[in-house]
Every structure is written in structure tokens, then in C-alpha cells.
Amino acid sequence: MKLLGFPILLILLHVANGSDGKFRKLCLDMFNKERYEVAKEKGWANMNQLEYGERHEKLIQDTFDVYEDRCINRNVTTVLKNLQNMDNIIKIVLNPDSVKKYIGDVGSQKAACAYKKCKETGVETLAIAVDINSLVDPINGSPGSACPNNRQPDVQMLCELKKKKSN
């Protein structure tokens, strides 16, 4: 699939399915597929699998609120920094031209997608958000071969969080 089709595909599937749960899963699947491709291409052994960030989705909605009823017809990037924790940076991109540029770092953990429909034109704007964690350096090797202690390789060979054992 071509990356340029990513925003259109997400919007069409969201509209067709009408389910936030399916939309969120598709969003994560697309992010993680691109993360795996980058890990394979660059030889990174410790690329984290992303989980859905509900807080990230809320930040996207807050960004949409800034535009009120105005249409967003261009690529806009916003970087939000947590002043209490400068390592916690979230990048929000409206109308991303490709996902590959915005997949985060190997240590990124959460991502989200949302969209807003322009009342004037009916055009939908897709937004993606991903946390940036530049404190984790890539480790050379085959994908999934050097996951952190709290993570294990998933089927895509990304480092997923280990499931907590229930008693």
C-alpha cells in the first residue's frame, strides 16, 4: 500500500465502519506496520510496538478545537512538551503526507489518530499523534532481538509490553 493513501484509507474505513474501536485498531496497525518496516530497513532490534494513547487522542481533539469551525487544508505539525518531564514530548500532525516520517523513535510507546470534518467543504482532516522518546538509542540487529526487559517480541517482531499475569 502506498503511504500517501494512508489518511484517505483511515477516513474511509472509519466512515464505513462507524466504530471508534475498529478505527483505533486500524490506526495502530498502520503505525506498527510502518515501524516494523523502518526497523527492518535500518536494522533496529529494539523498536517498540505502539499502544493506543487515549490522552494523545484528547490532545488531537484539543488541537482541532483551536481551529474551531475553520477548515484545515494544509499540513500542520504541533509539538507538545510536558514542562514537568521534558522527555515526554508528543508530536501532533494534521494532514500528514506520509506516516513513515511520523512513526516516532524506537522508544516511542503510544500513538493515536482522529479526524474532523470541515463544515464548509465536507473535507475531512486526519490527525496523528505519537510520543517522541529520544532517550532510547536504536540497537543494531534484527527486529525484536533486543527488546527491553519489560517487553517481548510480538508477531511483527516489534517489542510489545509483556502481559501482566493474573492470579
Cα end-to-end span (Å), the chain: 43
Q: What is the pLDDT of residue 122?
A: 79
Q: Looking up cell 493515536, which residue turns up?
A: 112
Nearest Cα neighbor of 128 from 143, 108, 157, 147 is 108
Count of structural domains, the chain: 1
30-63 pLDDT, tens digit per residue, is 889 989 999 999 999 999 999 999 989 998 888 8
Is residue 142 situated within a structural domain? no
The mean pLDDT value of the chain amounts to: 81
Neighbour tally for 129: CB within 10 Å:
26
Nearest Cα neighbor of 27 from 105, 96, 90 is 96
What's the whole-number mean pLDDT along residues 87-111? 79
Cell numbers standing for residue 109: 510507546
The pTM is what? 0.81
Is residue 150 situated within a structural domain? no
Is the pLDDT reported for residue 154 higher than 50? yes
Nearest Cα neighbor of 80 from 66, 59, 95, 104 is 59
Q: Looking at per-residue confidence, does 86 or 63 come out higher?
A: 63
Q: What is the CATH number of the domain that holds 79?
A: 3.40.33
Is residue 51 situated within a structural domain? yes
What's the whole-number mean pLDDT along residues 68-72? 75
Is residue 13 situated within a structural domain? yes
Is residue 163 situated within a structural domain? no
Q: Are 28 and 51 in contact (CB under 8 A)?
A: yes
Is residue 152 situated within a structural domain? no
Is residue 34 situated within a structural domain? yes
Which range marks the domain in which residue 35 is found?
3-133
Write the secondary structure of 92-111 as one string of H (helix), E (strand) and C (coil).
EEECCCCCHHHCCCCCCCEE
Cell numbers standing for residue 159: 517489542
Distances (CA, A) of 36 to 26, 94, 142: 15, 23, 11
Is residue 154 situated within a structural domain? no
